[in-house]
Amino acid sequence: MRQREEIIRTWFDMWLGQELLPLDAVFTKDVHYYEFFGPEYDGVDQLRRWFEEWNEVNRVKRWDIRRFLHTPDSTLVEFYFQSVNKNGEEREFEGVYLVEWDGEDRIQKLQEFYCQLPHYKPFQKETT
């Protein structure tokens, strides 16, 4: 499990440092990657292109892993994410990755889910 956690940390560190390392150590060649708002990437070549294009106009400011939950074939990763674009617009959310592994501890499928921030409580009584 520790090796899988290090692989995920490596992926996060690439974004934080805006430096793409060899993807074949992290992903299978035919990886399927799904972002929370709809984009889907098939294969490491598309991941590489997405990474390069996204980092031309954005920067990850924080990407904190809160916890890992493991099964024999998958890992859930709970995290906090914050980025800023070239116009100074910030985005933040809490998210979860559902990661599926191949037999060599490489990511073969990754789905991203998120909760918008800030949270609010629509039914909390107001105090006066």
**CATH architecture of the domain with range 2-15+29-98:** Roll (3.10)
pLDDT of residue 16: 96
The whole-angstrom distance between residue 47's C-alpha and the CA centroid of its chain comes to: 12
pTM score: 0.89
Beta strands per DSSP E along 14-89 = 27-34, 40-42, 58-70, 74-85
pLDDT of residue 107: 97
Residues of the chain with pLDDT under 70: 126-128
Task: Locate the domains of the chain by residue range.
Answer: 2-15+29-98
| Predicted confidence (pLDDT) per residue in 53-78, tens digit | 999 999 999 999 999 999 999 999 99
The CA distance from 31 to 111, in Å, is 11
The CA distance from 6 to 109, in Å, is 17
The CA distance from 8 to 96, in Å, is 12
| Predicted confidence (pLDDT) per residue in 94-104, tens digit | 999 999 999 99
